[in-house]
Amino acid sequence: MITLKTQEEIKIMGEGGRILAGIIRDLAKRVRPGIATNELNRAAEALIFNSGGKPSFKGYDGFPAVLCVSVNDEIVHGLPSDRVLRAGDIVSLDLGMEYRGYHSDMAITIAAGNISPQAQKLIQVTYGALEAGLKEVKPGNTFGDVGSAVQQFIESHGFGVVQDLCGHGIGKKLHEEPEVLNYGKKGEGPKIQEGMVFCLEPMVTAGSWQIKQAKDGYGFKTKDGSLSAHFEHTIAVTKSGFQILTKE
């Protein structure tokens, strides 16, 4: 069942989301060639606890880290390790935080040093797909409208839409109904209603959209080894449209 949030609940989630956005901004500044991904994880944990929040991901389905760090062909749920970032890598940072009993979730993809034109385009198109989906978020539209807009934007630029992973509702639980697909047909799926809060998160590949599980058992990678990018915001549906909660 899709739960609708009250204005007070959305206010609390907005407070947590703004804090999370600030933490992501801080982490992004630390991304550079030569830093190990587990250093970013340690920084994320300290920043969350210092802000009065709790990590959403640590311990979730056994995930042992606070931050997901996915590099190059890793799509999502990359496990931090002693892996050192190199110049030319693209890095997705995905972080969830519980604040005053409610979760928020956010992801960005950024460059470690100078990256190829293809990688730069991939990042730009993935963020553009998020914006395309947001334009369809308003009461009366459907989640199929959102997924269709995301898919059409991505495919019009020659990239692949990951179909085996999706966004999700969020609130007192990290993952709630509905599933928010990044593909679909207009008019299909549940109706969007005021008070819904969910995560919209396009995952885009430079090659095939097919995926495989990483050897660590947590992450997912592109099956063909192509680059992947990921952006995510936590969104509240308002009377006339939407409010991005994970924004400073």
Q: What is the model's pLDDT at position 128?
A: 98
C-alpha distances in angstroms, 69 versus 79, 87, 236? 6, 16, 26
Q: What is the model's pLDDT at position 112?
A: 98
Confirm if 181 and 133 have CB atoms less than 8 A apart. Answer: no
Positions of the chain with pLDDT under 70 = none
Percent of the chain predicted with pLDDT > 70: 100
Strand order in the sheet with 74-76: 74-76, 220-222, 211-213
Paired tokens of 40: 């970013």
Pairing between β-strand 176-180 and β-strand 160-161 as defined by DSSP bridges: unpaired
C-alpha distances in angstroms, 137 versus 32, 148, 202, 217? 35, 12, 14, 34
Q: What is the model's pLDDT at position 195?
A: 98
Indicate yes or no: pTM above 0.95.
Answer: yes
Cβ-based neighbours of 13, under 8 Å, separated by 6 or more: 5, 99, 102, 103, 104, 171, 197, 234, 236, 245
Confirm if 231 and 202 have CB atoms less than 8 A apart. Answer: yes
Q: Per-residue pLDDT tens for 169-211?
A: 999 999 999 999 999 999 999 999 999 999 999 999 999 999 9
Domains and CATH numbers, the chain: 7-244 (3.90.230.10)
Q: What is the model's pLDDT at position 73?
A: 98
